[in-house]
Amino acid sequence: GATHRNTLVTLAILGETYRDTGELARAVAILESAVARFKDTVGDADPETAAATHNLMLAYLDARQYARAIPLLEATLKPHRERPFCNPMEYASWLRKLALAHGATGAHELARVALEEGVAALARPPLAPGAGALRLLYDLSDVHLALGRPDRAH
């Protein structure tokens, strides 16, 4: 039936397939349906709901629907913020995506905050600042320029 777990998984896979082939409008529509059905059928805490929601967030980003992606990005970051000793590279990568989404919606100050948080995460031991931190610093410089603060750009 329409709410059977295997049907829902197939629907989510179809949405991922459309995303992978660049059919973003179809991907978004199907993944929105899959997420809603997963939530109604198995709840928010189910791993399949989380996976479909994650793929919906990526589809929103690919489709440049940044305002719709931001709440899902924030939800992705929540466990990282609650566990400060998580994978800093993964955390910084999600913060960069959040910053780019904020920047695309004109929220440059929020983009700056996210990038600075990412740089700080990459500077924590056992990591030494490397290429990932350098990329975030370049992004941070761009945000400072967009905010009209050339003196703060690196």
Reported as a single tens digit per residue, the pLDDT across 23-47 is 999 999 999 999 999 999 998 888 8
Q: In angstroms, how far is CA 96 from the centroid of its own chain?
A: 8
DSSP tally for the chain: helices H, then strands E: 7, 0
Cα separation, 122 vs 88, whole angstroms: 6
Q: Is the pLDDT of residue 16 over 70?
A: yes
Q: What are phi and psi of 63, to 5 degrees?
A: -85, 5
Tell me the pLDDT tens digit for each residue of 100-154: 999 999 999 999 999 888 888 877 665 555 555 566 666 767 776 676 766 665 6
The answer to whether residues 59 and 51 touch, using CB atoms and an 8 Å cutoff, is no
